[in-house]
Amino acid sequence: MLAGLGLVLSGWSSAQHAMHSQRADITGIAAKTETIPNDDSVLDSAPDKLLFAFPTQVRLVKLTLRNEHRDWVDISFRYDPDAAETFAWDLPQLPQATYYTADWAILSENDQLVRGSFSFAFGPDAELPSVTKEAEEMLMQMRHGDPSIRQVASPQTQIIIDRDPPKYDPPFTIDLKDQRLNTDQSNK
């Protein structure tokens, strides 16, 4: 099965020839699924195909491609009810982007829905998508704070009235003498 898939790939750079297994799921299908481009790969140039090799016959029910801004790329995916072990999907000319993410979903032989995704980047200045995603996450945490923190305690402030002369800790300032003078003058 993979030998035939390898023939389709002639002309791709050596980085594109390596296959990648997806994350494990309860069915085990995603763990045994091989994709080209690899997950978290950096390619010399934009791929012209997405390739999938599943361990059993499946029906590909979803295939989307998005850039780092989550903008969809029209790849003209249409559901085909025929089951297969390998799928090759032609891609349009991809514009330069920080990275792309392909999301897929299949129905297994017993109609269980299995999902997976993989990301890739290309070009001379491209970085691993995982590095870019981690930097984006850190930036979001710096901007919006740690999502695990539910409440931030306000700073303690004390108002001490029995002090001669009275003093008030910031951020409160009360000037009672000025208020009394202003009210006395406005009544006249």
Main-chain dihedrals φ then ψ at residue 176, nearest 5 degrees: -70, -30
Cis peptide before 81 (omega within 30 of 0): no
User: Does 147 have pLDDT greater than 80?
Assistant: no
Residues 136 and 128: beta-carbon distance below 8 Å: no
The pLDDT tens digits for 15-50 are: 333 344 444 467 788 888 999 999 999 999 999 999
CB count within 10 Å of CB 47 equals 20
Distance separating alpha carbons of residues 104 and 62, to the nearest angstrom: 5
Residue with tokens 């791929």: 47
Over residues 100-131, the pLDDT tens digits come to 999 999 999 888 999 999 999 999 999 999 99
Say what the pLDDT of residue 167 is: 58
Amino acid sitting at position 181: L
CA dihedral 134, 137, 138, 144 (to 10 degrees): 180
Closest to 98 (Cα-Cα) out of 70, 138, 140, 64: 70
What is the fold of 2-144? Immunoglobulin-like (2.60.40)
Reported as type and span, the H/E element at residue 109 is none
Note if the pTM is more than 0.75. no
Q: How confident is the model at residue 74 (pLDDT cuts 50, 70, 90)?
A: very high
Average pLDDT over all residues of the chain: 77
Q: What is the DSSP letter of 123?
A: S
